[in-house]
Structure 1
């Protein structure tokens, strides 16, 4: 088969079979699926799947794709699965500065501009802020005399010398973000950077005790609600997230845009004054 001819050479075919079989078994376990359930979802026999996991069979490229789809594996981890099976990665990772991403950049700029005068941020998978609109800059200038150097939102929020002291509904925000980090680690369990961010968040002494034990059946809120209190005034905002549907590039798969809006009329009026330069901190 053509896919077999493109398989990358391996010094030890048994090691290749063992690596791909182990990864498939790990992902199946993480997704809480039996061999029969995964086999039905992937459209293969349970016997064939058992052979792949045990190292008795080496899957074709098409089979790796079927298993990755059935297991809902993120694109970066799918590439690792292909490599483990002896194939070249399928999904490219293109930097946003590359010419191929010109239209994507244009779309992002339109979204950021459309969100004005309210804050909007572009985040990667590890919660690093890679781009921001003028509304986001105004928000940071309202909170800080000097905006922080650390671009990571989780570290900003869970640092006592950065955003945490200004968050009036701290327990709600901390609990919500910790749940989101747990959820993202479930989605990409091999991501050590996400695990490190969760550990950083949990290490903050102000995190509510109830949030240190992961709730098993608490639904995720579609928004993140936060109240900023400074110099006797409060800004109440809520945030939503936008992502690219059906991406075929690792960069797009991991990209999201956070858009924030005033949660009440008083916050909307105060924000208008802040943007107009009428409010003195």
Structure 2
């Protein structure tokens, strides 16, 4: 299966639209392969969410759901590295996403904050947070890494890396500090808007390069994470205070939080792609 996936990836990156395609036909071809590449980039996300759907809340054979999800997430990650669908450097970056996300989860679920909670028991809980939770953040990093490769992304007019790293750090810190000194996400969003206003991302849905504002990409990915969060809370994976009695849609304001988190994740991946490879961001 690993060989077949690698061959499939090679085919995805080399396939061309029929030479005699009209403008409308080309649009349809590109839209189709854009969707296929997006789905392929969500391999980790898809397998993990399949696990969420298949593992019953009461667990299996006396093993709790959270413990099983941790085991399955580890197996998926190990398999992707073994199958060469991810490099070791990419796996290290994904591990960083796991650590950063888990630290945020521990803070947000602590007794003084309690922004959300994980109601089910598990041996793999640390400070009240199941260890699989970090993989939900790692899944975002895995998606960005995979789509970067499959669509051969390149970025033009990227802000200086130290600025991008600074705003990403401030975004992360605001997730903690807003409980004490006020929420500055919209100020940070305004700064980010100015910082990335000229930034364009170039990608290959098929055989021709297309472009879009990078900021639009952040917002779109944030929206789909918000949808995934609604599915997860509906499945009872975790709950916000207003969902304890009966499930309700996650507040749309979380969309902005996820979009900001995508910026932080993208910054780490950009560091991996450009700094590690000793390639300067194109101006």
TM interval, shorter chain, is under 0.3
Please state which structure has a larger fraction of its residues in helix.
Answer: 2
**TM-score with structure 2 length normalisation?**
0.23
Q: Which has the larger radius of gyration?
A: 1
Q: TM-score, normalised by structure 1?
A: 0.23
